Amino acid sequence: MGPGPSNVPPRVLRAMSRPLVGHLDPEFVEVMNEIQELLRRVFQTGNSFTIPLSGTGTAGMEASVANFVEEGESVLIGVNGVFGQRIAEMVRRHGGICTVVSAPFGEPLSRKAMLEAAQKCQPSIIAVVHAETSTGVLQPLEPIREICDRFDSLLLVDAVTSLGGHPVKVDSWGIDICYSGTQKCLSCPPGLSPITLSPKAEAKLKTRTSPCRSWYLDLNLIRSYWGEDRVYHHTAPISMNYALCEALNIIVEEGLEERFNRHRQNHKALVAGIEGMGLQMQVDPDYRLWSLNTVRIPAGVDDGKVRSQLLSQFNLEIGGGLGDLKGKVWRVGLMGENSQAQNVLYFLFALENCLRRQGFHCSQGAGVEAATECYNAPGSLAASREFTA
């Protein structure tokens, strides 16, 4: 229950055990076609260029920067966490002129600050993190899209921790470049990075004035492998693509809205339990991720000892803070397969045990009781079957 990778459904593990075939075998080509169509449904897009890159989510980030940032290009980046910082560093390494608008870790970006910066730097690309894994913040994208429209900028979005757990409406939100990772809400092992490009982004890709500095992540080359030509570029990780295909089928079978509602309900129950124990969340309610929850570590409680006890005694992993939040928060993942009521209740029970061992006072069973009340509230997904603490 940390920030990823999340647990994987048995169906996905079984899919990985299928016999290997060649990366240009007709059977695998059919799998490639199915993956592309399923990814379009999950990204909520009709984009032709929608594929899984061979590499983790960071490969998607690097590909997005390497292919769209040329020497001297102006890029505006909203940074309110570690992964926004990482995008900025990649832009600098690829020769872009980087303008950063910062917000405190745990807060969303300021529309006013982003607009003022855009007026000064006239960016060709504006990049933001939709779901900041290091802080638990969900960044509203509509205000950023409005700024892009004013300056004819491409909108680049990191959706690593939101795709499959939150709505990522690529077409209706006007996202031009969007990448994710398989190991979060998609509940697939790490190793692939889904990415989708709008027609406007594709047009820019085709008219680069210089070659992409990364041969392996050159999307103009990779396009020929995933397109109709099927031109060899690299040996695709066959088993990983089997896994992704099955994971995406599971998502479609559940239904996107049902999946989003499940993530929202379990998040709400977790927050109720945390607050019922006398703890605080890091992020304002309006900007909280459902998939990654940041809990403030109370004074006098040892971060490392709690996480160590959770792992050794309860076989349960959560993450510590990153960057400015190191040692200040716990990061609790409720992603995909892991976003289940029994996991929420078990975590609250285990955390209470660890806190009480360190002398933190909370009423026995308060967290589980508060979460149970949330599940049993009228209108909740669980209201049809009673939960008992």
Q: Which one-letter amino acid corresponds to residue 295?
A: V
**Per-residue model confidence (pLDDT) at position 228:** 86
**Per-residue model confidence (pLDDT) at position 383:** 46
pLDDT in tens, 78-99: 999 999 999 999 999 999 999 9
- Determine the straight-line distance between the first and last CA of the chain, rounded to whole angstroms: 20
**Per-residue model confidence (pLDDT) at position 378:** 85
**Per-residue model confidence (pLDDT) at position 389:** 47
**Per-residue model confidence (pLDDT) at position 380:** 73
Reported pTM: 0.95
**Low-confidence stretches of the chain (pLDDT beneath 50):** 383-384, 387-389
Please give the Cα distance from 224 to 84 (Å, whole number): 30
**Per-residue model confidence (pLDDT) at position 113:** 98
**Per-residue model confidence (pLDDT) at position 250:** 98
Please give the Cα distance from 64 to 68 (Å, whole number): 6
**Per-residue model confidence (pLDDT) at position 229:** 86
**Per-residue model confidence (pLDDT) at position 274:** 98
- Domains of the chain with bracketed CATH: 10-253 (3.40.640.10), 256-376 (3.90.1150.10)
Q: What is the mean pLDDT of the chain?
A: 95
Contact residues for 267 (Cβ-Cβ < 8 A; gap 6+) = 288, 289, 290, 291, 293, 334, 339
